[in-house]
Amino acid sequence: MYDNLTEKELSVLNFLKYHIKDKGYPPSVREICKNLDIKSTSTVFGILNRLEKNKYIRKDPSKTRAIEILGNDNGSNNYNFDPEIINLPLVGSIAAGSPILAQENIEDYIGLPSAYIKGKDCFMLKIKGDSMVEVGIMDKDYIIVDAADTRADNGKIVVALINGESATVKTLEKKDGKIWLIPQNSAYEPMIFEPDQVKVMGTVTGVFRVY
């Protein structure tokens, strides 16, 4: 649906829709810069040109505020157009040697209120399994992960990459020179590794559940 849009392009499109719905007319380029914290007006012009090329909007070059939203999203209402909503990338997989937020790793974007988001480099993962149920993280929940927080502090719930291959969500502890990845479910045993076997990819800062 929005697979051909970057996160920033999607944010601009959402803000255009919100502003038109709220004010009855499109925002100026400078208003887009101010509300979305974009430093350069040329960046916004470039984004608007790409949105027009991909048939999300139509511009009238003879007028400064003439932007029409087109129906390329098939009437979808999956995204909240409130400017306080931040679209976090939903990452499908984590692997060694590949940046977490590389475009090929992103499956979708999920809009959440900015008040729920702690950190600047956050992404989301969908939980598979019940190993963390005793701290309220259930199967099929979405977790918010701060990719900038890789300090591996004791007691933190982290996303850890094991031997450069598989990623897991566990509570981290450092004991006797080892890294313990501890499930929060009494049915499972802790996993114990050498420090060079584990790479912390981020710290879990929140949980989001769809009923």
Structure tokens at 205: 């800062």
Percent of the chain at pLDDT > 90 equals 37
Quote the number of domains for the chain.
2
Instruction: Look at residue 77 in the predicted model and tell me its pLDDT.
Output: 37
105 and 191 part of one domain = yes
pLDDT band for 154, please (50, 70, 90 cuts): very high
Q: Residue 123: which CATH number?
A: 2.10.109.10
What is the distance between the alpha carbons of residues 112 and 154, in angstroms, rounded to a whole number? 28
What is the distance between the alpha carbons of residues 76 and 1, in angstroms, rounded to a whole number? 9
The domain of 50 spans 7-69
The amino acid occupying position 72 is N
Instruction: Look at residue 200 in the predicted model and tell me its pLDDT.
Output: 95
128 and 178 part of one domain = yes
Over the stretch 167-187, which tens digit does the pLDDT of each residue have?
Answer: 999 999 999 999 999 999 999
Instruction: Look at residue 1 in the predicted model and tell me its pLDDT.
Output: 54
**Within a domain: residue 74?**
no
Length in residues, the chain: 211
Q: Is the pLDDT of residue 190 over 90?
A: yes
The DSSP code for 98 is S
Over the stretch 55-96, which tens digit does the pLDDT of each residue have?
Answer: 899 887 655 567 888 865 544 433 344 446 677 888 886 655
Active site residues: 131, 170
Over the stretch 98-152, which tens digit does the pLDDT of each residue have?
Answer: 566 655 678 888 877 777 787 778 999 999 999 999 999 999 899 999 999 998 8
What is the distance between the alpha carbons of residues 79 and 11, in angstroms, rounded to a whole number? 10
